[in-house]
Each structure stands twice: as structure tokens, then as C-alpha cells.
Amino acid sequence: MTPRDKRLVDPLAAEYVLGTLRGPARRRFERWRASSALVAQRCEFWEEQLISLAREVRPIQPPPHLWQGIRQRLNLPQPRWRPAYALAIAASVLIVIGLSLVLYWRSIQPGPPSELATIAAPSGAAAWQVEVYSQRGQMIVRAGQLPARPANRDFELWALPQGGKPVSLGVLPVTGTVQHGLTGTQQEALAHATQIAVTVEPSGGSPTGQPSGTPVFIAPLRAIS
Amino acid sequence: MPDRAPPTDQEARLQELLDRCAARDAGALQPLYELAAPLLFGCLTRILRRRALAEEALQDVFVTIWQRAAQFSAARGKPMTWMISIARYRAIDLLRHERSAPVLVGELPEQSSEDEPSHELGAWWSGSALLERCLALLTDRQRNCLELAFVGGNSHEDIARLTGNPLGTVKSWIRRALQSLRQCLEE
């Protein structure tokens, strides 16, 4: 570039970059810039210098939808999950699912019972398995191989607290498993009992609240610590 | 320029993202947008003064950045200077059609709050101490005219009206200001 060329181009380049070259002159200059390395170079010189006039411009956060517009105009693909991200998210989901399952399991599973009794027939076959969960105040009874019972009669379970009267623990199931809550009296009785008993009672259980006959089964109540 | 400072970390990051855009890495444009859009939107808003127009312009600017990244990447200029130039030229083009429309003050976007992390140009720009020194040699009136033009996108006529000076006077202030800047810069 000769000094004369530069003297010719430079004032125009400066006013173009400054923005004061307007109208048809600006458009003509843009075409010149596109076709002349000298003009382009002088514009870049002024761009790099005058930029410091914009130092005080405050940034403004554009609204979020603008980026989507740009992406659509350029037909850019939706961002894919990066493998590390995907792995982290998958791991988090698994952890959450795992924790939920554990919590759910614990909510339906009482954990080990505090006391256990197995009521067995003379043959040795378990008739009922009784599990007491004293902390949660619950009892689970699983029916096994039941002995024959008279018509319209129920088997009733009793706690036999030491030094006290038997306390009813309810009518025993004929099949399957029942779970029910324990009253304060029942819990108290169980806390002081080393044995439980089964009697045969009128349908629905003893009407008096006390065993009406002698127990057909007595089983030890073992504490599980 | 002989006084070109080494790139800042921010400039290096922008350069890297622009290189990736040049290589058609579609995943590079969004981080570039997130870094640069607020400052470019600030520039556009100053010139265009209407939010809807500035939003439209910002989209145009990023489309252009994506399309011309390869050119820039090869030329190795300063990334933020290049992007601001694209934004300013786009805004000035839009002014051609839009300046006659009235500007409603209510439409002016709010300036970002003071405690927002600074992404002002100073943070992006490795700068030229020489230009600072040369700008200091100008009169206040000259510097003011240059700022009104460069930052506000005002024409000679706008500046004459805004400063209450005759058009010819404003034109010659600006011409002389640019002359003395060039002399000072090339000494």
C-alpha cells in the first residue's frame, strides 16, 4: 500500500467504522471493502482502535427465547445429552429409585419382630406363626396347617402375662396372614408375657374378654433382641 | 499493531469457540451465545433503542457469526471486536429503515443491575494503551462526538441536533478527531 492509497482510503474507513458514513456512500464503501484487501485492512485497523469507545456499554441479558430463534434459523440440531451428563443423570435416577424402593420396602416390611411364637400342633406342623413388633405396636399372624375346629367356633389368641390375667390378642386367622395394631393393654401384657395361648371360643371371640375354656395350645413367646 | 496485548482468558475462550464454529461444530454456538450475547445486546440496544428491533438484530448477528466464523478464524483478529463490529454494522443498517419511527421511552429495556457480573467490554478486551493515550489528546467535544457516533449509532445530523451545533462544525470536529487519532496511533 502506498502512502497515497492510505491517505485516500483511511478517512473513509474511519468514518465507515465510526458509523457516520451513511446512505449510498456506505453501501458503496462496503462493496469496496469486500473487494479490496487494503480497504479491509484499514477497516480492521479502525475497528480494533475505536472499539475502546464502547468500553462503557452495559451488557443486557437478552430474553431466553432468542436463542431458540437463532437455533431454528440456522437449523442447528437440538443439543444432545453428553455421555457424562447422561451417565450422571442415569445414576441419579437409579439412586432415587433405589432409595424410594428401600423406603417403600421398609414401610411395608416391619423388619425383624421383637417377639416370636410358633404355635405347633402335636404333629409338629406349625399352625400359626405369631410375630410381635413392639416398637411399631403391631402383630402379624400367619396361618399354617390348622387343626380341626368345631363348627361356628373360632380360635382366639391370648397373651399370658406373668402374675396377671390373660389378655386377648384377637381371633386367629384360618388362612393367610393378618396384621393388626396392638392396644396399650395388649402391648403391656406382651411385655410381661413369656407365653401365649390359644383357646376355642364362640364365633367372633370370647364374649367375656376372658378365655372361656382351657387353652388348646400354649407356646413360648421368645424375645428377639 | 505493535502494541497488541496478549489475549485475555476470555478472548482465548471466545477464539476457541469461534474456531469450533468455523469447523461447523454446532455445539459451540450456544456457549458462544451465552458468553457474548449480553454485551452485543447491550450495544444493539444502545443504537436501536427499541427492544423488538434489538432482539431481531441480535438473531441476525448470531446467524452472521455462524456463517462467517471460518473467515474470522483464519484472519485471527480479536473475537469480541469482530462480533461487536458485526452487531454495530447490522444495527446501522437497520437504522436506515427504522430511525424515522418514534422511540417510546417505555420500550427501552432496563439496564442490567450494577451488581451483575461484569461482562463489560473491559473484561473482554486486552486493549490498547496507545489508543487510550491518543483518545486523551482529543478535546472533550471531539471525544463526545465520537462516542455519540460509535456507541449511539448517531449520524452527523443526529449529533448536530443532539449537541446543538451546526452540521458542518460537527462533521469537521469528527474528521479532525479521526485524523489526529490516526496520526497519534501511527507515530
* Claim to verify: residue B43 and residue B2 sit in the same structural domain: yes
* Claim to verify: residue A16 and residue A42 sit in the same structural domain: yes
* Claim to verify: residue A73 and residue A172 sit in the same structural domain: no
What's the rounded Cα separation, in Å, for the pair B124 and B127? 9
CA distances B100 to B95, B96, B104, B158, Å, are 8, 9, 12, 12
* Claim to verify: residue B90 and residue B1 sit in the same structural domain: yes
Residue pair A159/A175 in contact (Cβ under 8 Å)? The answer is no
What's the rounded Cα separation, in Å, for the pair A19 and B89? 8
Closest partner residue to B43 among A54, A69, A73, by Cβ?
Answer: A54
- Does B55 contact A48 at a Cβ distance shorter than 8 Å? no
* Claim to verify: residue A198 and residue A123 sit in the same structural domain: yes
Supply the ipTM of this predicted assembly: 0.86
What's the rounded Cα separation, in Å, for the pair A188 and B6? 83
Q: What is the pLDDT of residue A213?
A: 78
Residue A98 makes CB contacts below 8 A (sequence gap 6+) with: none
Contacts of A76 in chain B (CB under 8 A): 26, 29
Contacts of A73 in chain B (CB under 8 A): 59, 63
B183 in any annotated domain: yes
Closest partner residue to A57 among B27, B42, B62, by Cβ?
Answer: B42
CA distance B82 to chain A (A): 8
* Claim to verify: residue B3 and residue B82 sit in the same structural domain: yes
Residue pair A198/A172 in contact (Cβ under 8 Å)? The answer is yes
B82 in any annotated domain: yes
Lowest mean pLDDT among A125-129, A148-152, B13-17, B47-51: A148-152
For an interface test with A, the pick among B58, B66, B171 (most A C-beta atoms closer than 10 Å) comes out as B58
> How many CB atoms within 10 Å of residue B44?
31
> How many CB atoms within 10 Å of residue A72?
10
CATH number, domain of B31, equals 1.10.1740.10
Residue B47 makes CB contacts below 8 A (sequence gap 6+) with: B88, B91, B92, B95, B151, B152, B153
* Claim to verify: residue A160 and residue A187 sit in the same structural domain: yes
CA distance B81 to chain A (A): 6
Distance from CA of residue B59 to its chain's centroid?
Answer: 16
* Claim to verify: residue B93 and residue B153 sit in the same structural domain: no
Whose cell is 476470555? That residue is B10
B44 in any annotated domain: yes
Coil vs helix vs strand at B25: coil
Question: Nearest chain B Cα to A21, which residue?
Answer: B155
- What is the pLDDT confidence band of residue B13, given thresholds at 50, 70 and 90? very high
CA distances B125 to A205, B15, B88, Å, are 90, 12, 17
Query: A interface toward B at CB cutoff 8 Å?
Result: 10-11, 14-15, 17-20, 22-23, 26, 44-45, 47-63, 66-67, 69-71, 73-74, 76-77, 79
Residue pair A69/B59 in contact (Cβ under 8 Å)? The answer is yes
* Claim to verify: residue B53 and residue B143 sit in the same structural domain: no
Is the full-model pTM beyond 0.80?
Answer: no
What's the rounded Cα separation, in Å, for the pair B123 and B7? 11
Q: pLDDT digit string (tens) for B82-129?
A: 999 999 999 999 987 655 544 433 334 444 444 344 456 665 555 566
Residue B39 makes CB contacts below 8 A (sequence gap 6+) with: A57, A59, B80, B84, B119, B120, B121, B124
Contacts of B120 in chain A (CB under 8 A): 55-59
- Does B150 contact A15 at a Cβ distance shorter than 8 Å? no
CA distances A156 to A100, A126, A169, A179, B89, Å, are 38, 16, 7, 15, 94
In order, the DSSP letters of A114-142 are SEEEEEE-TTS-EEEEEEEETTTTEEEEE
* Claim to verify: residue A78 and residue A8 sit in the same structural domain: no
Residue B29 makes CB contacts below 8 A (sequence gap 6+) with: A70, A71, A74, A76, B17, B21, B62, B65, B66
* Claim to verify: residue A193 and residue A121 sit in the same structural domain: yes
Residue pair A57/B120 in contact (Cβ under 8 Å)? The answer is yes
* Claim to verify: residue B134 and residue B179 sit in the same structural domain: yes
**Total domain count for chain A?**
3
> How many CB atoms within 10 Å of residue B142?
18
CATH number, domain of A215, equals 2.60.40
* Claim to verify: residue B34 and residue B98 sit in the same structural domain: yes
* Claim to verify: residue B156 and residue B98 sit in the same structural domain: no
What's the rounded Cα separation, in Å, for the pair A21 and A15? 5
* Claim to verify: residue B49 and residue B139 sit in the same structural domain: no
Coil vs helix vs strand at A181: strand
Residues of chain A with pLDDT under 50: none
Q: What is the pLDDT of residue B10?
A: 83
* Claim to verify: residue A201 and residue A172 sit in the same structural domain: yes
Contacts of A49 in chain B (CB under 8 A): 128, 131, 181, 185
* Claim to verify: residue A86 and residue A26 sit in the same structural domain: no
Q: What is the pLDDT of residue A50?
A: 92
CATH number, domain of B164, equals 1.10.10.10
* Claim to verify: residue B92 and residue B150 sit in the same structural domain: no
CA distance A74 to chain B (A): 7
* Claim to verify: residue A122 and residue A103 sit in the same structural domain: no
Residue B157 belongs to what domain range? 128-187
CA distance A84 to chain B (A): 15
Whose cell is 410358633? That residue is A118
Question: A33-42 contacts: CB < 8 A, separation 24 or more?
Answer: A38/A1, A38/A5, A38/A6, A38/A9, A39/A9, A39/A13, A41/A1, A42/A6, A42/A9, A42/A10, A42/A13
Q: Which three cell numbers stand for residue A53?
A: 469507545
B180 in any annotated domain: yes
CA distance A36 to chain B (A): 15
B120 in any annotated domain: no
* Claim to verify: residue B92 and residue B170 sit in the same structural domain: no
Contacts of B121 in chain A (CB under 8 A): 51-52, 54-57
Q: State the first-to-last Cα distance of chain B, in angstroms, to the nearest integer.
A: 12
- Does A66 contact B128 at a Cβ distance shorter than 8 Å? no
B162 in any annotated domain: yes
Instruction: Tell me the HSE value of A101 on the side-chain side, using a 13 A CA sphere.
Output: 6
Domain ends where: B67, B102, B137?
B102
B11 in any annotated domain: yes
B117 in any annotated domain: no
* Claim to verify: residue A93 and residue A7 sit in the same structural domain: no
* Claim to verify: residue A90 and residue A133 sit in the same structural domain: no
* Claim to verify: residue A10 and residue A98 sit in the same structural domain: no
- Does B27 contact A15 at a Cβ distance shorter than 8 Å? no
Residue A8 belongs to what domain range? 3-60
Residue pair B65/B21 in contact (Cβ under 8 Å)? The answer is yes
CA distance B169 to chain A (A): 14
Q: Which three cell numbers stand for residue B11?
A: 478472548
What's the rounded Cα separation, in Å, for the pair B130 and B137? 11
